[in-house]
Structure 1
């Protein structure tokens, strides 16, 4: 089955709902594409590019924070005592380096349903460990995060290069293990996602440019628009409820999805 407007809409909605929840949006899209019998390099590219819609949602919601960081950067006020562009860069470096080095291997060997199921389970285990063994909170808000914690969260973000692990799941878990509150780790995850995902999607678009044509515009725009709108709603709702939500709840959800998919689809 080839990509059409309806499949693009479905995948866009799934992306918007799951991108910033610790359940792996890429993993969900890969599994759904498998259920819809969608395959090929163009579909893999769509699964990456459609994330831009959700990223734009964060850029819109947090634009004042980005403007504030840019102003402080220009005035030389960046410091470890307040969230700055240095924190974002420290968190981006590990994933950018490893992502560039392993981009082809990741896209060739890890974008399959079986590897996603492994990522869902492994990421869920990490989240339970983080909830139970997390350090005493030293960074209650995102502005309390230190340079060391930012870089450490960036190292955990590398786990998300394995589809199914989840960028937000890995970074929120990493933050909690490094002494940030769940809310601070989640907000930092959102802020870091904008530059790193723009870079990742841009790289994928450039490397896949020969696969795309004008005829693809319709379903790409459909996916981007639906993921943007749903992403806005998902981020606002998640941040309102984050103090009431346990990370382990998402872990158990991941286990259930992995088990059901394995029983009814893989086997």
Structure 2
């Protein structure tokens, strides 16, 4: 029962934070540290609950993803984002992630590096919020290939735990002339193939730590993450135009301060 309780708490944390610019990985690492849920099994659990959040995006944007898979002629010429946008946005993080995967897992997944990432990511959010940039892409379907690639470059920052993938890509999109709502939606879209790829790789490498006894805990965490993420995404999209990214930055600074006090003072 104790482990099921931890699974529920971590599922809620993942679902709430995965698509907000506050770093879900950072929240998961810090929360797991407080719950004393550590080790390879805990790391594998974190991968599984991330898949729950990704499935929420897949359901909400199901028709859009079906369009990406369409083999009808002219798919690269029609208006709106298409498969090429996703590919060019994914490439930078895939290349850098594969090159540095072992280093990142060995040295960056800890409370101290997360606190640093929270602060640096918060600074980026403030910069994106304060810079007066002419918006050339008001909706997600206005995003160009060049902007998609630029957003992909910013996504590489999220390889540092605590930096936040959504925070990096949203900030990058805004700095490149994409509206905040369009940047948020594009972030949700590219999260699906990116996180399926990253989670699939991590699960394969962690296969020796998976047992049938872990199944109930893992399924509970995945289900909770899925449900909470569905509500979090819909709510965020409704209010994203009204929320300044600086608000999330201040939250990140406060969170880093609280956990610094808990862990080191």
TM-score relative to the length of structure 2: 0.97
SS of residue matched to 2:81? coil
SS of residue matched to 1:74? coil
Asked if 1:245 is matched to 2:236, the reply is no
| Structure 1 pair 228–79 and aligned structure 2 pair: CA distance change class (3 A) | same
| Corresponding position of 1:11 | 10
C-alpha separation between the residues in 1 aligned to 2:2 and 2:54?
A: 22
| Corresponding position of 1:34 | 33
By how many angstroms is 1:263 displaced?
1.4
By how many angstroms is 1:212 displaced?
1.1
C-alpha separation between the residues in 1 aligned to 2:88 and 2:108?
A: 26
- Kept in 2, the 8 Å contact 1:17–1:234? The answer is yes
- Aligned residue pairs total 265
C-alpha separation between the residues in 1 aligned to 2:237 and 2:63?
A: 17
TM-score relative to the length of structure 1: 0.96
C-alpha separation between the residues in 2 aligned to 1:46 and 1:126?
A: 29
- Kept in 2, the 8 Å contact 1:134–1:178? The answer is no
| Structure 1 pair 197–134 and aligned structure 2 pair: CA distance change class (3 A) | farther
- Kept in 1, the 8 Å contact 2:158–2:164? The answer is yes
| Corresponding position of 1:64 | 63
Unmatched tracts of structure 1, length 5 or more: none
Asked if 1:23 is matched to 2:17, the reply is no
List, as ranges, runs of 4+ consecutive aligned residues in structure 1 with deviation greater than 6 Å. Answer: none
CA RMSD of aligned residues (A): 1.4
- Kept in 1, the 8 Å contact 2:44–2:209? The answer is no
By how many angstroms is 1:177 displaced?
0.5
| Structure 1 pair 46–211 and aligned structure 2 pair: CA distance change class (3 A) | same
- Kept in 2, the 8 Å contact 1:124–1:254? The answer is yes
Asked if 1:235 is matched to 2:198, the reply is no
| Corresponding position of 1:200 | 198
| Corresponding position of 2:159 | 161
- Kept in 2, the 8 Å contact 1:3–1:219? The answer is no
Unmatched tracts of structure 2, length 5 or more: none
**2:85 is matched with which residue: 84, 87, 93?**
87
Asked if 1:46 is matched to 2:45, the reply is yes
